[in-house]
Amino acid sequence: MKTIQAYRYALDLTPTQERAALAHAGAARVAHNWALARVRAVMCQRAAERTYGIPDNQLTPALSWSLPGLRKEWNAAKRQVAPWWAECSKEAFNTGLDALARALRNWTHSRSGHRAGRPAGFPRFKSRRRTAPSVRFTTGTIQAELDRKHIVLPRLGRLKLHESARKLARRIDSGTARIMSATVRRDGGRWHVAFTCEVERTDRRPTQPLSVVGVDLGIKHLAVLSTGEKAPNPQHLIGAQARLRRFSRALARKAGPDRCASRHPSGRWERTSARLSRAHARVRNLRRDGLHKLTTRLAREHGTIVLEDLNVAGMLRNRRLARHIADAGFAELRRQLAYKAEWYGGQMILADRWYPSSKTCSGCGAAKAKLALAERTYICTTCGLVLDRDLNAARNLAALVASHTTGSGPVAGRGAVRKTQHAGLVAVKRQPGAASAGQTGTVRPQGRTTDRELTRAGDG
């Protein structure tokens, strides 16, 4: 199975190499800002000419927003815009132009309805201080040396790694991996390199291929499994809150940059800002490490993993729980499970957002009309079941797929209503081809009225 996989390593750069990396990242930013200014100027000029009554065929020629079009404009003007262009690799300028082309395409598709999710805004200029320095290399000499402790990149030369790259080197030597690009980026005060590779992975199977596990995500426990296991929530951000506040107060007392007054930041402000960035990076790394360990274990052990399609953006509107919800990383956990289930031969299935997993009794199937968030123990008034709320929800999620595999009813339609109803039978709706390993699907309860059926009933 061929897949795209990234290998990320920390770098130990010398001061000269760090200045060269910053120069390449600055070149990418200059190309991005120049091309964005050019695009905005042409758009404003054409809009002004339309107000004068000029026909469309006589307007200023439109500028192509594709990467080849932007690269052509940049090559024609780079000697005047950046006389030092020969000091940096061409990949540096291509990085900035490619980022702009992607942003413009996302904005166009979002306006036309071809892009799902939140509306994408128009691209903005990149700031020298607020933008993380980054440059991507796609051509030239990109390789790991035989000692596994150094890499070679175009124009930057031989760079030392903080850790061994033997895992990537073994794949390259065996012919099961091919480097497609290398991205150098400064994150949290450290420089990292990420190799994007096309990897030929061997087909694998989970240790329990027939196992179906429901995963209920929460704050008190990060994940509660239908097997009864509860993965604790480490809450790294809450634990580091005192240190982050201390650094933030110290930073506020220093003389920071002020563009209006043309004031540069003081040295103490720079050092305190670096400490604050490292503290945030440590929290981010700890959270990422814990999520990787949890998702890898779930993907390796269970053949089918069932998750809820949570409305995290709506949950963040709760001002009392927003910080805890953001610290848990629900979206990152779901993203990792999606591709790791494919790697290890399993599948991840999403339950419908409006499926009442917490309100439904896992014993008899009766559903409550209301269930307060403070009620942490589920008590069924029909069969008398007393169970932990999260464990009850996890068992309901696992029962969705189990009931489908036994052939209980047809597939439900899309657009379920939000009102909780007493539905005992459930069904599974998957994407085309989701029966194969690694593909995600959507689980929806049976017995609910769809929006289309409501519309037909109103018309009749």
Question: Which of 407, 391, 202, 206 has the alpha carbon at shortest distance from 304?
Answer: 206
Secondary structure (3-state) at 70: helix
CA-CA distances (angstroms) from residue 77 to 8, 70, 103, 147, 184? 35, 11, 22, 42, 26
Q: What is the SS3 assignment for 230?
A: strand
List the beta bridge partners of residue 196: 6, 181
Q: Tell me how far apart the alpha carbons of residues 413 and 116 are, in angstroms, rounded to a whole number.
A: 20
**Would you say 185 and 169 are in contact if contact means Cβ atoms under 8 Å apart?**
no
Q: Which of 73, 98, 308, 342 is catalytic?
A: 308
Whether 98 is catalytic is no
Which helix (H) or strand (E) segment is 441 a member of?
A: strand 441-445
Give the residues across from 7 on adjacent strands: 195
Q: Rounded to whole angstroms, how far apart are CA atoms 206 and 346? A: 7
- Side-chain-side CA neighbours of residue 36 (13 Å): 20
3-state SS, residue 250: helix
Residue 175 neighbours by CB distance under 10 Å: 8
Structure tokens at 37: 């200014």
Instruction: Show the DSSP H helices in 82-223 as ranges.
Output: 90-112, 166-174
Strand partners, 10: 192
Secondary element (H or E) of residue 193: strand 190-200
**Active-site residue identified among 73, 91, 352, 390:** 390
Q: What are the Cα distances from residue 120, in Å, to 101, 131, 249, 355?
A: 14, 18, 34, 29
Rounded CA gap, 197 and 180, in Å? 5
List, as one string, the DSSP characters of 282-297: HHHHHHHHHHHHHHHH
Q: Which of 216, 327, 342, 352 is catalytic?
A: 216
Residue 390 among the catalytic residues: yes
Residue identified by tokens 């805004």 is 121
Positions annotated as catalytic residues are 216, 308, 390
